A = this chain, B = another copy of it.
């Protein structure tokens, strides 16, 4: 049994607590650790934050005894091997640099930084120090995306032609019903904006599943320019709340992706990817995937006089859940800890994190310059 101390910075928020602490690290502990050939890894969380009241409450709620408001104290604990950062993006670099300086393996929420220069700088620093590094790219490990990856691997699609992605839902304005997302998401000055948020996800989803993005055209929009914040006050919501984009991928696939917080959902899920190939198509959501192979593809004839004799959705079959997927965050955590302890391969390092930032910057630039932007490959 090998105990690995993990300094967890910024896990008092909703996502940090639920996904990283409870459903990942504590869930790994509850299952008895991560079994390897010779040894078993047992993560030992050390909570770090600014608010001692919240920290103590969180620690107590889960029977943890190590927490501190002093990052350096935490990093100095003798068993601390890993630093995890889930702070707001602008605050991320400082903690990461401290951890690298202390020789810790570093694992971060995305986006790695607000700008590409910082992201690359962190990647270079980590490499120079010889520490292991990784970025959360959880959507790859969602059940729906795992099924989609397996479909691709199986050759189901023949040659893949195109991907249509829709992300989004209606985020309430806050006046008449409280908003379900924090107000900083809608202010540029606070690091808000859907391009910064979502293009980091599109980058690794497209890149890992279909091919690296080599060029894009994007249009941001600011559909709802005024909102009401957590305290009931109107504010100027100046960040982009929707983005309409077209991506060209290496290998020739075209991906058309819409992201929006101002759309109502007439879809199976909050994210859907329709993938069309010569031999079959799929529509993937977060958990379920439906397919239509070539042989059950109907042949519609354009005859708008009459109601269609074909029920188009009927002809799609659900991909069964043959292998129930683990929590996506936990699955990636286990891989990172195996990488740290046993040197197993891990494909999502700081350079991968920097690629997400790069794509967001390219999207913003395409919007500004009203033209296609080529995306250079970042070499690891």
Q: Mark A251-285, 1 if CB is under 8 A from B, else 0.
A: 00010101010111111111000101010110100
Cα separation A316 to B315 with both chains bound (whole Å): 10
Task: Establish whether residues B270 and A308, one from each chain, have CB atoms under 8 Å apart when the complex forms.
Answer: yes
Report chain B residues within 8 Å CB of A267: 312-313
**Per-residue contact bits, chain A 309-332, to B (CB 8 Å; 1 contact, 0 not):** 010111111111011000110000
Q: Please determine whether B317 and A269 come into contact, CB atoms closer than 8 angstroms.
A: no
Q: Is residue A360 contacting chain B, with contact meaning CB distance below 8 A?
A: no
Of the candidate stretches A81-89, A95-103, A172-180, the one touching chain B is A172-180
| Any B CB within 8 A of the CB of A297 | yes
Contact of A286 among B169, B217, B304 (CB under 8 A): B304
Q: Which of A1-9, A40-48, A218-226, A345-353 lies at the binding interface?
A: A218-226
**Are B371 and A265 interface neighbours, CB within 8 A?**
no
Instruction: From A59-67, A116-124, A149-157, give the one contacting chain B.
Output: A149-157
Q: Are A305 and B217 in contact (CB under 8 A)?
A: no
State whether the Cβ of A291 lies closer than 8 Å to any Cβ in chain B.
Answer: yes
Report the interface size class on chain A: 35 or more
Bound-complex Cα distance A171 to B286 (A):
27
> For the complex, is A191 an interface residue (Cβ under 8 Å from B)?
no
A68 on interface, CB distance cutoff 8 Å: no
User: A293 near B: Cβ within 8 Å?
Assistant: yes
Chain B positions within 8 Å of A21 at CB level: none
Query: Residues of B contacting A305 with CB < 8 Å?
Result: 19, 23, 327-328
CA–CA, A318 and B297, complex, Å: 10
B297 touches A264 (CB 8 A): yes
Query: Are A269 and B318 in contact, CB atoms less than 8 angstroms apart?
Result: no
Which listed residue (B153, B161, B301, B317) contacts A317, Cβ 8 A? B317
Assess A176 versus B153: contact at CB under 8 Å? Given A170-B297, A274-B266.
yes
B162→A223 contact, CB < 8 A: yes
> Is A184 on the interface with B (CB-CB < 8 A)?
no
- Complex contact B320–A298 (CB within 8 A): yes
**A318: which B residues are within 8 A, CB to CB?**
296, 314-315
Other than A150-B176, A260-B276, give 20 A-B pairs with Cβ distance below 8 A: A23-B305, A139-B304, A142-B304, A161-B223, A164-B258, A172-B299, A172-B322, A177-B323, A217-B219, A262-B276, A264-B276, A265-B298, A265-B300, A267-B313, A280-B293, A287-B308, A291-B296, A296-B320, A299-B323, A304-B328
